[in-house]
C-alpha cells in the first residue's frame, strides 16, 4: 500500500481521534466483521461521554470503492438518482465522508477541526504525514483534510476492503459450482415476476466486466417499519426520511424523495446481525419474510392505532404514494414459497468473503 494508505490504517484504528478517546472507525466498522459492527445493536453508541445512540445501523465498509458520488441535480427524477456514500448519498467521496463521523456528536464527536488536528499531532504516527504528503500541513484544516485523504487511500487500496473472494466470485470464475439450493436461490433472486431482487441488487457483471456488487447504486422507498426501540424515535415527530432529510439537508422539501434510501450492496450481508437503515430487523429470514408479505400481511410489520394498522408507519401518511409497489411488493406479486425463501437465503450466504475452495455450503444449503 502507498504511504498514504498505511497512514490511513493507523488513523482508522486510532481511538484517540474521538471525543471520548474510546472510538475509532474500526469500533463500528470492525475488519473482523466484514468492516461492519461487531455487535447486534441496531445503532452504535458514541459521543464524548459514550452515551449517545446513533440514528442508523452501521454498514459494512466493503465494496464501496466503485460507488461514485451522488449524481443528482435539481431536475433529476428519483429513478435516475445514483451513488453517494451514506444511506442518503450525502457524501461524495470516501475522503469527504470521514468528516461526518469525526464531528458527529453521536459518533466520534471531535468538537472542532482544531481538536481533531491536536489529536492527530499528538499521535505516535504523526511523522508519517510527512512521508505520505509532499507538503507539510500549514494549518489544522489542511492536516485534517490530509487525514481524510489517507482514510480514502486505505479504503481504495487495501484489498481487505474488497477481496472479491466469496463463493459467488469463485462460481463466476468457473472454479466451483453452486449447490442446488444456492443455484435455485439465484434464479429466485432474478425472477422478475417473483422476488425480483435483481432489479435493484444487480447480480450481473458491470458494463466494464467487473464482478457484481449486488446494487444498482440507486434509491428506493421500501417502507421499512419504524424501529420504535431507537432513542431518536421516542420523539413521535422524528422521522428518518432518507434523501429528503433530516440527516441530509440539501434536498429538504423535495417530498417526492422522502423515504428513499440507497440500495446497499449485498456482499457479506449474511455476516450482519441487524438489517436496513434503522436496524429494525435481526435476521436474513426476517428480511425475506418482510419482502414477501409487506403488502399481504401489513399487520405483521406495522404498528397500529385505534385498532387499525398504520400502513408504512415510518412515513408521513401523506407520502405513502412514494413507496415502491413493484414485485416482490404489491398485493399482486406472486407469493414466494418457504422453499424459495430458504433457497434465496442460501444464495445470499454465498456472497460472504473468505470462501475456501471445497468448503461445505451453509447448513441446510447443500
Ligand atoms: C459510532 C459508530 C461509527 C463510527 C465510529 C464510524 N462510523 Fe462510519 N458509519 C456509521 C453509520 C451509522 C453509518 C451510516 C450513516 C448514514 O447512512 O447516515 C456509517 C457510514 C459510513 C460510510 C458510508 C458507507 C456507505 O455504505 O455509504 C463510510 C465510508 C464510513 N462510515 C467510514 C467511516 C470512517 C472512515 C470512520 C472513522 C473516521 C467511521 N466511519 C466511523 C457508524 C460509524
Ligand atoms: C426496489 C428496489 C429493491 C428491491 C426489488 C429489493 N431491494 Fe433489497 N434493498 C433495497 C433498498 C433501498 C434497501 C435499503 C432500505 C432501507 O434501509 O431502508 C435494501 C436492503 C436490503 C437488505 C438489507 C441490507 C443491509 O445491509 O441492511 C437485504 C438483505 C436486501 N435488501 C435483500 C433483498 C432481497 C433478497 C430482495 C428480493 C427479495 C430485495 N432485497 C429486493 C432495494 C431493493
> DSSP for 205-223?
PPTTSPPP-S--S-EE---
Whether 186 lines ligand 2, by a CB cut-off of 6 Å, is no
Whether 276 lines ligand 2, by a CB cut-off of 6 Å, is yes
Are 131 and 199 in a shared domain?
no
Ligand 1 pocket: which of 86, 105, 154, 246 to mutate (most atoms <8 Å of CB)? 86
Question: Is the model's pLDDT at 310 over the cut of 80?
Answer: yes
Measured CA to CA, the distance from residue 206 to residue 213 in angstroms comes to 8
How far the first Cα of the chain sits from its last, in Å, is 39
Question: Is the model's pLDDT at 12 over the cut of 80?
Answer: yes
Kindly state the average pLDDT of the residues 152-167: 98
Kindly state the average pLDDT of the residues 167-191: 98
Measured CA to CA, the distance from residue 138 to residue 231 in angstroms comes to 41
- Residue 96 falls inside a structural domain: yes
Question: Is the model's pLDDT at 186 over the cut of 90?
Answer: yes
Kindly state the average pLDDT of the residues 254-259: 97
Kindly state the average pLDDT of the residues 272-284: 98
Answer whether the bond into residue 328 is a cis peptide, omega within 30°: yes
Give the mean pLDDT of the chain. Answer: 97
Kindly state the average pLDDT of the residues 291-319: 96
Question: Which residues share a beta bridge with 346?
Answer: none
Whether 64 lines ligand 1, by a CB cut-off of 6 Å, is yes
Whether 188 lines ligand 1, by a CB cut-off of 6 Å, is no
Place of cell 442508523: 56
- Residue 237 falls inside a structural domain: yes
Measured CA to CA, the distance from residue 6 to residue 38 in angstroms comes to 23
Measured CA to CA, the distance from residue 233 to residue 13 in angstroms comes to 31
Place of cell 404498528: 303
210-224, 250-264, 266-280, 321-335: the lowest-pLDDT one: 321-335
Whether 196 lines ligand 2, by a CB cut-off of 6 Å, is yes
Task: Report which ligand 1 atom has the smallest distance to the Cα of 23.
Answer: 5
Measured CA to CA, the distance from residue 211 to residue 199 in angstroms comes to 17
Q: Is 6 helix (H, G, I), strand (E, B) or coil?
A: helix
How much is the pLDDT for 333? 85
How much is the pLDDT for 85? 98
Question: Which residues share a beta bridge with 312?
Answer: none
Whether 62 lines ligand 2, by a CB cut-off of 6 Å, is no
Task: Give the chain's domain count.
Answer: 2
Whether 97 lines ligand 1, by a CB cut-off of 6 Å, is yes
Residue whose CA lies nearest to ligand 1 atom number 20:
86
Domain that holds residue 300: 167-351
Are 183 and 119 in a shared domain?
no
How much is the pLDDT for 242? 98
pLDDT tier at 192 (50, 70, 90 boundaries)? very high
Contact status, residue 347 vs residue 189, Cβ threshold 8 Å? yes
How much is the pLDDT for 74? 87
- Residue 362 falls inside a structural domain: no
Are 134 and 200 in a shared domain?
no
- Residue 186 falls inside a structural domain: yes
Contact status, residue 120 vs residue 17, Cβ threshold 8 Å? yes
Question: Is the model's pLDDT at 314 over the cut of 90?
Answer: yes
Let me know if 77 is exposed, middle or buried by CB neighbors in 10 A (0-12, 13-18, 19+).
exposed
Residue whose CA lies nearest to ligand 1 atom number 39:
25
Q: What is the per-residue pLDDT across 320-331, written as a single tens digit (0 to 9) for each? A: 999 999 999 987
Are 239 and 147 in a shared domain?
no
- Residue 365 falls inside a structural domain: no
Kindly state the average pLDDT of the residues 96-113: 98
Task: Report which ligand 2 atom has the smallest distance to the Cα of 199.
Answer: 5
Are 241 and 291 in a shared domain?
yes
DSSP 308: E
Question: Is the model's pLDDT at 233 over the cut of 80?
Answer: yes
pLDDT tier at 332 (50, 70, 90 boundaries)? confident
Contact status, residue 24 vs residue 12, Cβ threshold 8 Å? yes
DSSP 245-300: SSSS-TTTT-GGGTTBEEPPP-TTGGG-SSBSTT--B--HHHHHHHHHHTTTSGGG
Share of the chain above pLDDT 70, in %: 100
Q: Which ligand is nearest to the CA of 277?
A: 2
CATH number reported for the structural domain that contains residue 316 in this entry: 1.10.760.10
Residue 57: name the closest of 263, 218, 273 by CA: 273
Are 85 and 189 in a shared domain?
no
- Residue 360 falls inside a structural domain: no
- Residue 358 falls inside a structural domain: no
Amino acid at each position: 500500500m502507498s504511504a498514504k494508505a498505511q497512514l490511513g490504517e493507523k488513523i482508522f484504528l486510532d481511538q484517540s481521534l474521538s471525543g471520548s478517546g474510546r472510538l475509532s472507525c474500526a469500533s463500528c466498522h470492525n475488519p473482523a466483521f466484514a468492516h461492519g459492527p461487531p455487535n447486534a445493536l441496531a445503532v452504535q453508541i458514541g459521543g464524548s461521554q459514550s452515551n449517545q445512540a446513533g440514528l442508523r445501523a452501521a454498514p459494512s465498509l466493503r465494496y464501496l470503492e466503485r460507488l461514485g458520488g451522488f449524481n443528482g441535480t435539481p431536475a433529476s427524477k428519483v429513478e435516475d438518482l445514483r451513488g453517494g456514500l451514506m444511506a442518503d448519498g450525502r457524501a461524495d467521496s470516501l475522503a469527504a465522508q470521514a468528516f461526518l463521523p469525526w464531528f458527529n456528536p453521536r459518533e466520534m464527536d471531535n468538537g472542532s477541526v482544531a481538536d481533531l488536528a491536536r489529536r492527530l499531532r499528538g499521535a505516535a504516527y504523526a511523522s508519517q504525514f510527512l512521508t505520505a504528503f509532499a507538503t507539510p500541513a500549514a494549518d489544522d484544516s489542511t492536516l485534517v483534510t490530509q487525514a481524510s485523504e489517507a482514510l480514502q487511500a486505505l479504503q481504495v487500496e487495501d484489498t481487505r476492503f474488497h477481496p472479491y473472494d466469496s463463493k459467488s466470485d469463485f462460481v463466476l470464475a468457473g472454479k466451483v459450482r453452486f449447490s442446488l439450493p444456492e443455484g435455485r436461490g439465484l434464479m429466485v433472486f432474478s425472477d422478475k415476476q417473483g422476488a425480483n431482487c435483481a432489479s435493484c441488487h444487480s447480480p450481473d457483471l458491470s458494463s466494464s466486466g467487473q464482478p457484481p456488487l449486488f446494487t444498482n447504486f440507486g434509491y428506493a422507498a421500501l417502507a421499512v417499519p419504524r424501529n420504535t426501540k431507537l432513542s431518536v424515535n421516542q420523539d413521535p415527530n422524528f422521522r428518518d426520511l432518507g434523501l429528503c432529510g433530516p440527516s441530509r439537508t440539501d434536498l429538504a422539501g423535495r417530498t417526492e424523495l422522502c423515504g428513499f434510501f440507497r440500495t446497499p450492496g449485498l456482499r457479506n450481508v449474511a455476516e450482519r446481525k441487524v438489517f436496513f437503515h434503522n436496524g429494525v430487523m435481526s435476521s436474513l429470514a426476517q428480511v425475506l419474510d418482510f419482502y414477501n408479505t409487506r403488502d399481504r400481511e401489513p399487520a405483521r410489520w406495522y404498528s397500529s392505532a385505534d385498532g387499525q394498522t398504520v400502513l408504512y408507519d415510518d412515513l408521513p401518511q401523506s407520502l405513502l404514494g412514494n413507496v415502491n409497489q413493484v414485485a416482490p411488493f404489491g398485493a399482486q406479486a406472486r407469493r414466494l414459497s418457504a422453499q424459495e425463501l430458504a433457497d434465496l437465503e442460501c444464495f445470499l450466504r454465498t456472497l460472504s468473503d473468505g470462501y475456501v475452495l471445497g468448503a461445505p455450503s451453509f447448513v441446510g444449503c447443500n
